[in-house]
Structure 1
């Protein structure tokens, strides 16, 4: 799957009133401007190509809503989902199944250890290293953008860098 980075959303500079898609209460120009490496909202699921619905995350968490901006794009077919940048309708990454989410969490745990131990908590330098190690553009080097295989690869390169400490 190819990810196209679109840059800052042009709506952030628009003079027209912003229309928030249901069920979002609003969309903020300032919040849209903060997302420099935006990707388009999904129109079909990244996992199964099924239809996607913008909804509250309480649909995922048994009726309980979590977070200050509790909205997600969710596949009506396979139930994969992705959260949104706060106060926007922009996805944080690509949709993911439960298995992909677990692979991302496992890889990010190793990455955070590596960031602390090798990069003195400099996340920018750590992400630049990871992008180079994975052979991808820095603009898409984010765990929310990783599919299952790429998350596993990220875990492997972090584990190798940590050596016996992993």
Structure 2
């Protein structure tokens, strides 16, 4: 896993207010600890980190974006599993379909518009 230099895509900066995020225990959000997160308190936007690291899983997200990411992942995972693709090949297809670099093609990094595009692309994908 590679650290992304963009402060928004790496969870270091809130895309909503532009403030620097804080690195805190997830118990602050969930009341139980599930590991560390990057959090923007004023926006209630957050994201987790890869286990055992401080590398964010993507951009911090508010409730709307968190729900869109879940929906995008659901459609994406269903697509590649049902179509007999590997996850890696599915991400190559997604990168090409969205015309974005492979190293930035991760649902965790996507904004609302990009998540909606993933959902629509996956609903219409025919092999």
CA deviation map 1:40-66 (0-9, x unaligned): 4544312221342110011111x1112
Partners of 1:145 and 1:78 lie apart in 2 by: 17
Say yes or no: does 1:136 pair with 2:100.
yes
Q: Displacement, 1:121?
A: 4.3
Say yes or no: does 1:53 pair with 2:53.
no
Partners of 2:90 and 2:12 lie apart in 1 by: 32
Residue 96 of structure 1: aligned partner = 61
Runs of 5+ unmatched residues, structure 1: 1-34
Say yes or no: does 1:114 pair with 2:83.
no
CA deviation map 1:79-102 (0-9, x unaligned): 101111122211111111111010
Instruction: Please report the TM-score for the alignment, with normalisation by the length of structure 1.
Output: 0.69
Residue 23 of structure 1: aligned partner = none
Say yes or no: does 1:64 pair with 2:32.
yes
Pairing of 1:10-21 with structure 2 (within 5 A): none
Number of matched residues? 123
Residue 44 of structure 1: aligned partner = 13
RMSD of the alignment, in Å? Answer: 1.7
Partners of 1:114 and 1:51 lie apart in 2 by: 36
Instruction: Please report the TM-score for the alignment, with normalisation by the length of structure 2.
Output: 0.88
Residue 120 of structure 2: aligned partner = 156
Partners of 1:116 and 1:43 lie apart in 2 by: 32
Residue 89 of structure 2: aligned partner = 125
Between stretches 40-49 and 50-59, larger displacement belongs to 40-49
Runs of 5+ unmatched residues, structure 2: none
CA deviation map 1:24-50 (0-9, x unaligned): xxxxxxxxxxx23x1145443122213
CA deviation map 1:96-123 (0-9, x unaligned): 11110100111111111110122x1400
